[in-house]
Amino acid sequence: MDNNKNSHDVQDDSKESAFYVDAAKYWEQVPPTVDGMLGGLSSISDIDLKGSQRFLNSIFQLISCPGKERALDGGAGIGRITKGFLMNNFAIVDLVEQDQQFLKEAEKSLASTNHRGQFFNIGLQKFTPELGVYDIIWVQWVLGHLTDEDLVRFLKRCRTGLKQNGLIVLKENLTSSGEVEMDHTDSSVTRPPSLMHELIQKADLRVIKEQKQQRFPSDLYEVRMFAIQPI
């Protein structure tokens, strides 16, 4: 992992374009499987989904809790999270995924279920949700593929997609070094907690609940979940 470069280096249009193009090329070579989505770590999928369910349960205990009608799975891949737990909690789950191969696999996988929802084949840096329709917007293991500026813009657009009492949940790897670390293999960054909080605030959002994912292998990045809402 090369931590000499951070997302602030990705500033002008040509560099931003390369950042996104390189990531898209990487994921085009990844098989549309759970193992592919998790970088060969399909063994942690069940632990991940159960941790997410517990976090969501705690959100539903809040005084001003979100409804259970419609959710958005941001950076949905093959629909692992939609099928694995979002559909158990929401009547409608929409999926956003820029890789067409992954989205087709998600449609195929969900075809035999009672899934209701739309499929959006677009990157999060370009996606704008419908106004005021989502109870939960769940975004997991994809924000490292956005520049800081695009992440803030994306979160601002997500704000407009929330219903009253709606929440955005971010679940991401975080560095313990205090620095942004760049992975040139898949063209992504991993941010420290302090920067995540800073970017959330820049989007005029606040963290109302934060929790560490438990029971992951110790050699992996720390993973945290952030429930955030408009200030």
140 is annotated as contributing to ligand binding:
yes
Look up residue 105 and give its two tokens: 């696999």
Find, among 124, 63, 126, 59, the residue nearest to 90 by Cα: 59
Question: Cβ distance 97 to 72 under 8 Å?
Answer: no
80 is annotated as contributing to ligand binding:
yes
125 is annotated as contributing to ligand binding:
yes
124 is annotated as contributing to ligand binding:
yes
Question: Cβ distance 116 to 92 under 8 Å?
Answer: yes
98 is annotated as contributing to ligand binding:
no
Q: Which residues are annotated as a binding site?
A: 75, 80, 124-125, 140
Q: Which residues are annotated as a binding site for S-adenosyl-L-methionine?
A: 75, 80, 124-125, 140
